[in-house]
Structure 1
Amino acid sequence: MRQQKMEAQMDAAGPVAADPYVALPRPDSPEGWPLRFQSPDPGADGHMRHVELGPQSVVLRRRVAGVPMKAARPLKAYQGLAVELLDPEGEGDGVAIVLAHADLALCVTLYSAPHIDDVVAEWRFWSAALGLPMLVSEADGTRRPAYAMIGRLTVGDTRERRARRGALKHRRPSVYRRRAAGRPIGEPAVHRGERELIARD
């Protein structure tokens, strides 16, 4: 029913002009999911498709020659969040953050702008929100993790042990200041032949 309603709305609205840049609202609570928005699709009627992005899956809907099509993929099937140039062969500074998939037709742009001012903040947010790694796109089209990864965990740089500084630098460790058990000096005194005082009622 929902799909039919959405398709009816698409037919009634006709082709929708695409915004040249994408800036999706950031969900700040579980109620903010899923996100529903339109994305350019050269192969679809009206050159647009409908995207439903949730914390667990991505659903793509479009019409081709009047035939409705739907593609649903789990979010874990995606490689990560890749930063790409909008015009790789040009001199522009436009960038995009793409939910990257091995099949280019399933990739989804989550953010794009004519400059790189906010790209790092958006990149980190969507990576954390979707639980996917941050990727860097190479000139040959391949993608690599922006940071060293073990599975889905980011490996941080090792930190050297902080050297002791200040007035306590040369202080002896407290383990050497612990008091040992007392030892008697000389032979213990033994008392013999003395009358013992006993209290009686």
Structure 2
Amino acid sequence: MRQQKAEAWPHDPAYPYVALERPTGAEGWPLLFQSLDPGADDGVRLIALWPDAVALRRRVAGLPMKIERPLTDYGGLAVALLDPEGDDEGVAIVLVHADPVLSVTLYSAPHIDDVVAEWRGWSEALSLPMLVTEADGTRRPAYPMIGRLTVAAARARRPRRGPLKHRRPSVYRRRAAGRPLAGLDVHRGERELIARD
């Protein structure tokens, strides 16, 4: 089991949204935070997030529980509405697991202003795909992927335009190998003419 910094579990009940600061280096991990959990005794669970694992701690019926899962068990990062049936425009970025109890909200806000930047940032930080939720509840990658690599469309070749379009290719400007001139005298076996003292 991983060791966690027990002294810092930030939580502000007055601010119900999640606003984690993504680490920029190895020293910023693990991220320690709380999130709402209706199944827990006190209504919250403690979460520790590493670049390769997630640990969830909560107390149920007075018994402490801890679950640690590798990040490879998670399908990716999906954008979800906080209130799909109501008029609230709040959104969340969720680290999605096949078991909804193990899914973790990494970002939530009452508006959609910064959601795409946060979505892309968390995807890069955790090396997980960005997922789009369909109307039927299924999720698919936002971009075509091969394994964990995003597949982009091939770029078309740039058309040749401008003043250099009709330029003669440089291969034709190379000099051809020279040929000896006809009637050139070749002198062999003669003594050198060198001025000596």
Distance 2:116 2:107 in 1: 11
Q: How large is the RMSD of aligned CA atoms in angstroms? A: 2.8
Runs of 4+ with >3 A deviation: 16-19, 185-191, 196-201
| Matching of residues 62-101 of structure 1 within 5 Å | 62-101=58-97
1:123 aligns with 2:119: yes
Moved more, 22-31 or 54-63: 22-31
The 1:198–1:169 alpha-carbon spacing in structure 2 relative to 1, beyond 3 Å, is closer
| Matching of residues 21-100 of structure 1 within 5 Å | 21-100=17-96
TM-score, normalized by length of structure 2? 0.86
Distance 2:44 2:71 in 1: 21
User: Conserved in 2, the CA contact under 8 Å of 1:18 and 1:40?
Assistant: no
What's the secondary structure of 1:70's corresponding residue? strand
User: Conserved in 2, the CA contact under 8 Å of 1:81 and 1:133?
Assistant: yes
**How many percent identity over aligned positions?**
70
The 1:183–1:40 alpha-carbon spacing in structure 2 relative to 1, beyond 3 Å, is same
Q: CA deviation at 1:157?
A: 2.2
How many residues in Structure 1 have an aligned counterpart in Structure 2? Answer: 190
What's the secondary structure of 1:175's corresponding residue? helix
Distance 2:193 2:33 in 1: 97
The 1:70–1:186 alpha-carbon spacing in structure 2 relative to 1, beyond 3 Å, is same
Structure 2: segments with no counterpart, 5+ residues: none
In structure 2, the partner of 1:174 is 170
In structure 1, the partner of 2:110 is 114
Q: CA deviation at 1:198?
A: 5.6
Distance 1:70 1:197 in 2: 99
Distance 1:114 1:93 in 2: 6
The 1:117–1:107 alpha-carbon spacing in structure 2 relative to 1, beyond 3 Å, is same
In structure 2, the partner of 1:146 is 142
User: Conserved in 1, the CA contact under 8 Å of 2:22 and 2:125?
Assistant: no
| Matching of residues 1-12 of structure 1 within 5 Å | none
| Matching of residues 132-143 of structure 1 within 5 Å | 132-143=128-139
Distance 1:198 1:30 in 2: 76
Structure with more helix by fraction: 1
* 1:74-118 deviations in Å (ceiling 9; x for gaps): 011110111111122223321110000011000000001111100
* 1:47-80 deviations in Å (ceiling 9; x for gaps): 1100001111100000001001111000111101
Structure 1: segments with no counterpart, 5+ residues: 11-15
Q: Which amino acid in 2 is paired with 1:110?
A: L
